[in-house]
C-alpha cells in the first residue's frame, strides 16, 4: 500500500524537520480502546496474542498505550485473522508530538502531519483523520480533524473521505503519565502529547475512532436497543435478504423489530409484553403474545433470520437459540446478545452450547453493548 510504510520492519523512521521535534518510535506502539469495565479482558487478549506485550500507560480508563515485539502491524494482522472480543479499537503510535494546550496546537499538528505523513499517504485510495481528545484542551476533535485533514488534502494527492476511508491518520491528545521520554518545546503543557499513527482502516478493528459508533436518534425510535442492532449489522456486514422473514425473540417494546422492518424484513415478534403502538399498526409485524418457550411448542414457521436480545442467563439464552435452529433455512443467519453481568465467566460455556448448532461468525463487545457481547451466527447444516 504505502511506498514507505511507517516504521515497518526493516524501514528506518523518518527524521523530523520541525523545531519542536516529534518523537518517532522504532516500531509502532499502539493505543487500545475498550469498555472500562472490561478493559482487563481486552488487556488479556492483548497479552495472549502479542509477543512480550507491555502496558506503557493508561491515558484514560478506556484507552491504554501498549507495546509488543511485533508492534502494531504484527498484532493487527493477527487480529484480522482472529479478532478479539473485548478490544474495540486499535491504532498505531508512530510518533508523539508535544502540545502547548493553546489553539496554536492546531496549526502545529497540521504542519507536523504534512511533514511526516503527506508522502506516506497512498494517492490511489481515500484517507481520513480521526481525532480523540482525552484531556481538557481549548479545541475539540472536530477542530483537529478539520485542520489536519485540510492540510493533508492540500499537500497530498489522496482523496479525503470521512465516511469510508481506506487509510486513517489517528490523532489522540492525552496526558502521558509514565513510561515516555519526551522531547519538549520551550514551553510545553507538562506531559500533554498528541499520539499520531497512520494505518489501514481494516487494521483498526473498528472504522470509528476509539470504536465509538454513534447513530442519530430518530423521532420514531422505539428503544435505544435499536442502536445495538444498527451497529451489529454494520460491523458484521450483514446483508439482509430482500423480503426476508425474521423471528425476534423477546421483541418488546420492538426496537430490533423496527430496525428489521426498516430493512425490508417481515417480522414475527415473540413477547408476552406489548409492542409499541407503531409496530402494532404495522402489517409487516406479526405479534405472538407469548413466551419464546410457548411459541416453540406451538411449532414455528421457517425463518431467514433469528434475533434475540433477551435479558436472561447466557447459557439459557444459548440453549433457546439452539432449540430454534431447527426452524431456520439453511442460508439463514442469527444475531444475539449474551448477557455477561460484571464478568465474562458465562461467555465460553454459552459459546460451547451455541457451537452445537451454529458456527460463530463474529463475536464482539460493540460500543452500544454494556455488560454483554453481540454474536453473529450461521446454523450448521444437519
- Taking only the tens of pLDDT, the chain with its 382 residues reads 443 444 433 222 333 333 355 666 556 899 999 999 999 999 999 999 999 999 999 999 999 999 999 999 999 999 999 999 999 999 999 999 999 999 999 999 999 999 999 999 999 999 999 999 999 999 999 999 999 999 999 999 999 999 999 999 999 999 998 644 443 333 345 689 999 999 999 999 999 999 999 999 988 889 999 999 999 999 999 999 999 999 999 999 999 999 999 999 999 999 999 999 999 999 999 999 999 999 999 988 899 999 999 999 999 999 999 999 999 999 999 999 999 988 899 999 999 999 999 999 999 999 999 999 999 999 998 6
For residue 327, the Cα-to-chain-centroid distance in whole angstroms is: 31
Do 204 and 231 fall into the same domain? no
Quote helix, strand, coil % in the chain, to nearest 5. 30, 30, 45
Cα–Cα distance between 208 and 201 in angstroms, integer? Answer: 9
The answer to the question of residue 11 being in a domain is no
Which CATH number belongs to the domain containing residue 288 in this structure? 3.40.50.150
The CATH number for 40's domain is: 3.30.2130.30
17 within a domain of the structure (yes/no) = no
Q: Are both 57 and 173 inside the same structural domain?
A: yes
Residues 49-87, buried b or exposed e (16+ Cβ, 10 A)? bbeebeebbebbebbbbbbbebbbbbbbeebeeeebbbb
pLDDT at 300: 86
In a domain, 305, yes or no: yes
Contact 223, 190 (CB under 8 A): no
Are residue 263 and residue 128 in the same domain, yes or no? no
Is the CB of residue 96 less than 8 Å from the CB of residue 193? yes
374 and 357 Cβ atoms separated by less than 8 Å: no
DSSP state of 281: T
Pull the grid cell for residue 302. Answer: 421457517
Element (DSSP H or E) covering residue 305: strand 303-308
- Collapsing DSSP to helix, strand or coil, 330 comes out as strand
Judge whether 45 lies within some domain: yes
Q: How far apart are CA 155 and CA 114, in angstroms?
A: 7
85: in domain: yes
Number of domains in the chain: 2
**Could you tell me if 128 and 258 lie in one domain?**
no
Report the pLDDT value the prediction gives residue 168, as an integer from 0 to 100: 98
Residue 285 and residue 194 share a domain: no
CB 68 within 8 A of CB 50: yes
* CA torsion angle 179 185 189 191 (round to 10): 0
| 14 domain-assigned | no
Residues 107, 198 share a domain: yes
pLDDT of residue 8: 37
The range of the structural domain enclosing residue 314 comes to: 225-379
Do 37 and 88 contact (CB within 8 A), yes or no?
no
CA distances from 224 to 46, 76, 207, 227 (A): 31, 31, 21, 6
> Virtual CA dihedral for 99, 104, 107, 108, nearest 10 degrees?
-30
In the 8-state DSSP scheme, what is residue 370?
S
Given 176, 211, 246, the domain boundary residue is: 211
Tell me if 293 is assigned to some domain.
yes
Phi, psi (rounded to 5 degrees) for 358: -135, 155
CA distances from 358 to 280, 334, 376 (A): 32, 9, 10
Task: From 182, 211, 240, give the residue that closes a domain.
Answer: 211
Q: Is the pTM of this model over 0.85?
A: yes
Are residue 238 and residue 348 in the same domain, yes or no? yes
Q: Are residue 79 and residue 157 in the same domain, yes or no?
A: yes
Residue 219 lies in a domain: no
Contact between 95 and 196 under an 8 Å Cβ cutoff? The reply is yes
Amino acid at each position: 500500500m504505502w511506498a514507505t510504510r511507517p516504521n515497518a520492519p526493516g524501514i528506518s523512521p523518518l527524521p523530523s524537520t520541525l523545531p519542536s521535534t516529534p518523537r518517532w518510535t522504532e516500531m509502532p506502539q499502539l493505543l487500545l480502546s475498550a469498555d472500562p469495565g472490561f478493559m482487563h479482558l481486552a488487556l488479556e487478549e492483548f497479552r495472549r496474542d502479542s509477543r512480550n506485550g507491555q502496558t506503557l500507560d493508561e491515558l484514560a480508563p478506556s484507552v491504554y498505550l501498549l507495546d509488543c515485539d511485533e508492534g502494531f502491524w504484527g498484532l493487527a494482522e493477527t487480529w484480522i485473522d482472529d479478532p478479539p472480543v473485548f478490544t474495540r479499537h486499535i491504532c498505531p503510535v508512530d510518533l508523539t508530538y508535544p502540545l502547548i494546550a493553546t489553539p496554536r496546537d492546531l496549526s502545529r499538528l497540521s504542519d507536523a502531519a504534512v511533514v511526516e505523513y503527506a508522502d506516506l499517504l497512498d494517492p490511489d485510495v481515500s484517507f481520513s483523520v480521526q481525532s480523540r481528545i482525552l484531556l481538557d484542551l481549548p479545541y475539540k476533535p472536530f477542530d483537529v480533524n478539520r485542520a489536519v485533514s485540510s492540510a493533508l488534502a492540500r499537500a497530498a494527492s489522496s482523496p479525503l473521505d470521512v465516511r469510508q476511508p481506506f487509510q486513517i491518520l489517528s490523532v489522540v491528545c492525552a496526558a502521558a503519565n509514565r513510561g515516555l521520554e519526551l522531547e519538549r518545546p520551550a514551553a510545553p503543557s507538562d506531559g500533554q502529547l498528541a499520539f499520531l499513527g497512520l494505518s489501514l482502516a481494516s487494521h483498526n478493528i473498528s472504522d470509528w475512532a476509539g470504536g465509538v459508533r454513534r447513530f442519530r436518534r430518530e423521532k420514531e425510535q422505539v428503544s435505544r436497543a435499536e442502536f445495538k442492532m444498527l451497529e451489529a449489522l454494520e460491523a458484521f456486514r450483514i446483508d439482509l435478504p430482500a423480503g426476508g422473514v425474521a423471528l425476534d425473540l423477546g421483541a418488546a417494546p420492538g426496537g430490533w423489530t423496527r430496525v428489521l422492518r426498516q430493512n425490508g424484513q417481515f417480522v414475527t415478534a415473540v413477547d408476552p409484553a406489548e409492542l409499541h403502538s407503531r409496530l402494532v399498526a404495522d402489517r409487516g409485524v406479526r405479534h405472538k403474545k407469548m413466551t419464546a418457550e410457548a411459541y416453540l411448542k406451538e411449532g414455528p414457521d421457517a425463518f431467514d433470520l433469528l434475533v434475540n436480545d433477551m435479558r436472561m442467563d447466557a447459557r439459557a439464552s444459548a440453549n433457546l437459540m439452539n432449540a430454534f435452529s431447527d426452524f431456520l433455512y439453511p442460508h439463514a443467519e442469527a444475531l444475539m446478545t449474551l448477557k455477561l453481568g460484571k464478568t465474562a465467566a458465562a461467555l465460553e460455556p454459552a459459546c460451547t452450547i451455541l457451537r452445537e448448532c451454529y458456527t460463530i461468525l463474529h463475536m464482539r463487545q460493540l460500543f452500544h453493548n454494556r455488560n454483554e457481547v453481540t454474536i453473529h451466527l450461521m446454523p450448521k447444516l444437519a
